[in-house]
Each structure stands twice: as C-alpha cells, then as structure tokens.
Amino acid sequence: MAGHQSGEERNEGCASGGRDLKARLASIPSVERVIASAAAQPLIAEYGRTQVLAAIRETLDGWRRDVQTANSAAADDAPFDETRATAAAAHALAARSQSRLRSVFNLTGTVLHTNLGRALLPDEAVRAVVRALTQPMSLEFDLATGRRGERDDLIEALVCELTGAEAATVVNNNAAAVLLTLSALATKKDVIVSRGELVEIGGAFRIPDIMSRAGAKLREVGTTNRTHLRDYEEAIGARTGLLMKVHCSNYAIAGFTKSVELDELAPLARKHGLPVAVDLGSGTLVDLAQFGLPAEPTVRETIEAGADVVTFSGDKLLGGPQAGLIVGRANLIRKIRKHPLKRALRVGKLTLAALEPVLQLYRAPEFLRERLTTLRLLTRPGEEMRATAQRVMPALQRALGDAYRVSVEPMFSQIGSGALPVDVLPSFGLVVRSGGVPGIAHAATTAAASKRAGRGRALMKLEAALRALPRPVIGRIADDALHLDLRCLEAVDEASFVAQCAELHL
C-alpha cells in the first residue's frame, strides 16, 4: 500500500485513513458512466469510440494509482467526475493525434538543412503533388500509343535539355544514384578514386562503404592533399572498370594541394576506354555566380568537361524533392536502368510530380531567382532580412522579459547539405543573450565560469521553450548566445511567428 512518506504522514493517527482511501476510490466513476456522459459525445464524434474508451480507461486507471500512492494529483479535493475525466481524456487524445512530423521555423541559418527537410518547393510543385495524390496519373502509361510507358520518360527529355546529357534517369536520392551507378558499371571491377575525395556525407554515406556494397573494389590513389594525373595512370589496369571523382561537399582541403581536374582526367580515361563518373553531390543546373553566390560546377559544365556519368541530388541546390539524378551517355544510362537495383531504388509518383515543375522553372532563368524557393532564400537582400528582424524583435523581447536581451545583428548563413561548405552568406537575425548584461570576457575565475554555466543553462531553457511552441522555432547557439537567423523567415510567415511569441513559456 501507500509506502510513500507523504501518504503515511497524511494517514498518521487517523483511524479513518483506510476508509477515506476507499471512499475516494469509490468516488471514481466507471468507464461506462464517463463514456455515456454528455461531455464525452463530441469526443466520440471526433476520435471514434474505440480511442475515447481507451483514453478514458487510462485516465481512470491513473486516478486509481494516484489515490493508492497518495500522489498529489489525487490529494486535492476536486471531485472525480465525468467532466474532469473527459477533459483529461480529451487532452491525451489531442496530444496523441498531433502529427509527429511538425512544421517548424528554420532559423538555424542553414538553408538546405538535411534534418529539417532540405529544399522547400515552389507552388507549382505543391499543386502537382496534390494532383498526383488525388487523381490517377499517366505514370507508366504512354498516352500516344495506349501502351505501357516508362516513368523516366516523364523527365528525361527535360533533364537532358537542361544538362546537355544524352540520357537521364532518376532514383530515390543521390546516395542511391551513386550505389546504382557503381553496381551497374563497376561490380567486380576496380574503381579509381583520389584519396582526397573519399568523403563521408553525414548520415553514414561513405564512398568506400558504398563501393563495397556495390561489389566494386576501391583503388585509392594519391594522398589526402595531393593527387596527380600520373597517380591515376599508374593505377589503371586490366581490372579497372571506372574512374570516379567525388565533389568535396562538406569540407575543403586548403594549403599545399593538387587535384586532377576533370578535363585532364577525361582524356586519360578515354585513352584507356574507361568511363568517368562524377558524384557532384549538390549539383546545380545554373551558374550561381550570376546571382552573387559562390560558384559551383554545373552539371552541364561537368558533362562538357568529359564526365560520362554525373550523379546529383534533387533536394539540394536544385531546389526540388528528394531524388537522385543520374545523367550521362546513353549506353551507360541504359545499363544503369536495366540493373535490378533500379527497381528497388525507383522514385514514386509524388517525386516525379514535384520534380517536373521545378525543372520547368529552369527554362525561364529570368524568373528563377524569384520562383525557385531555394534560390530566393539564398539570395535574399540583406536589407530585407534586417527589416524583418527589426519588425519581429519587439514581440520576442516582450515575451522574454528582463531575463534575456534581444538585439538585431548581422550574422552568416550557410547553404547547407554540403554545398559550398566553406562559403557563408551575410545575413541578419536576432541574437538573444541571457542575464541582461552582455558577457564580458573575464579571466577564468570560478565566479565567471559559474556565471557562464548559468547563462548556458538559460539559453538551453530558451531553446527548449522555442521548441515547445505550436510551430517550433529552431535556432543555433553560438558565442554564448542564441542566434535566430531570419533568412528563412519570409513575409508569409512573419505574422504567425510574431503571434506565437506570446505563447512562450519560460
């Protein structure tokens, strides 16, 4: 029974303690009574009887446990009636039915944030996905002949037009594209890769691992910082199946370095009758320099420089849905398409529905900056972001009170997803510091250290409170402050961001 200290104390010297407990337990209504009550009827209409019954039973069981362990929730004198039981059940049902996949505000400063879903899609793509979800589609159906079609046919001509490739196919993501390419072109063969390009992309994508999964043998050449053309040449032998280049997506090797460019490597490969595959990672279809962004090799340039196969992601700089595009020579793409893994890694109709209108946008480069969401976010004018910051700052300061100080400050965003890792984009946002007074760099005295620890705790508490909002706000802690980069807070969402500030509970 009540082994709890507080329970014993409450019953101490009171002969009626046991009887009180019994009376309290008896006052808990039956499940049948609660579910038959008027208050339960709207819940049944919303969630169905099965769920409501289970939630009420759970509530009542909880009360019985509370009474028996003299838990504080049962210690009050509020009656255990049907209204209270229904309210508790309603609360539990609402919490349970909330989607686990929530909309958030991405104020991390990383535009293509893998953990937050990468590229946001333009309206055209959204409408196409809704159509594909609700209407039958000509997914593998040739409307000209009435015969079975190929799902790749939906986008192949468009991808070729935009990249200059002879042929194209699409799979689930770029990791799948690389796995499939290696499986189709290099199983039981050697693949020559520079040691400086043996990358690991977050989330367990490592070139050497993919290579062994594909049954290919990795032949590393050169050193981490320097690889020469002769290193490749000396490694080519009877077992060589492919030369491969991998874009250093998430790191940069600086200093005393040498890598072999594609336009040097391709003639060597051709001399030996070998194909060159390039994993571009992000892979952009347009010259980003024209938008004031750091340059990235385009897919077209890569093909023109002599790549036989190029793989890249759909949801990185391309700005589309998660997908992996494989483009290149027709005979190689044919081989890739015929491999059994292609069927396992194929994309669904929603991906194709979203990808096509995104690719269409590239046909009108004049409008791209405005219409392609990713590009619009990456090129947002500083003045606009500063103005946004100034407009939303007061609401956040009001919600946080005196314990925190909010200021509008310049900061740096990142493209993310491994694109252009060392480049950062000047941005504006809110910086939140705890403790009212900005931290002065004291000597590492105990007092200063504990003060800093206190500020650290306050910032973590603030981060957690922002995550608990109806639409969670995700920022970034750096330099003893919480940074909310406003690059990705566009006008449409500003009002709802401001409104929910009032709901912050610290």
**Which positions touch ligand PLP (CB under 6 A)?**
173-175, 178, 199, 201, 205, 246-247, 249, 279, 281-282, 313, 324, 417-418
- Report, in Å, the least distance between residue 64 CB and ligand PLP: 50
Q: Which residue is nearest to ligand PLP (CB)?
A: 281
Strand, coil or helix: 287: coil
Residues whose CB is less than 8 angstroms from the CB of residue 256 and which lie 6 or more positions away in sequence, other chains included:
225, 226
- Report, in Å, the least distance between residue 350 CB and ligand PLP: 16
Pick 199 or 358: Cβ nearer ligand PLP: 199
Pick 357 or 418: Cβ nearer ligand PLP: 418
Q: Chain-centre distance of CA 369, in angstroms?
A: 22
Q: What is the spatial distance between Cα 151 and Cα 169, in angstroms, rounded to a whole number?
A: 9
Q: What is the spatial distance between Cα 347 and Cα 137, in angstroms, rounded to a whole number?
A: 14
Output DSSP code: residue 216.
Answer: P
Among all chains, which residue has been given the structure tokens 């040739």? 142
Q: Do 262 and 299 contact (CB within 8 A), yes or no?
A: no
Which phi-psi region, left, alpha or beta, contains residue 204 (left: φ > 0; alpha: ψ -120 to 50)?
Answer: left
Pick 82 or 197: Cβ nearer ligand PLP: 197
- Report, in Å, the least distance between residue 322 CB and ligand PLP: 7
Burial class of residue 388 (count of CB atoms within 10 Å of its CB; 0-12, 13-18, 19+): buried
- Report, in Å, the least distance between residue 452 CB and ligand PLP: 36
Pick 86 or 106: Cβ nearer ligand PLP: 106
Pick 194 or 313: Cβ nearer ligand PLP: 313
- Report, in Å, the least distance between residue 118 CB and ligand PLP: 8
Both tokens assigned to 51? 């769920």
Quick one: which of 418, 184, 158 has its CA closest to 280? 418
Pick 294 or 438: Cβ nearer ligand PLP: 294
- Report, in Å, the least distance between residue 294 CB and ligand PLP: 15
Pick 173 or 434: Cβ nearer ligand PLP: 173
User: Which amino acid appears at position 448 of this protein?
Assistant: A
Output DSSP code: residue 213.
Answer: H
- Report, in Å, the least distance between residue 153 CB and ligand PLP: 22
Among all chains, which residue has been given the structure tokens 């019985």? 64
- Report, in Å, the least distance between residue 257 CB and ligand PLP: 18
Please report which residue ranges of 409-445 form alpha helices under DSSP H: none
Pick 172 or 240: Cβ nearer ligand PLP: 172
Please report which residue ranges of 189-283 form alpha helices under DSSP H: 207-213, 229-235, 262-271
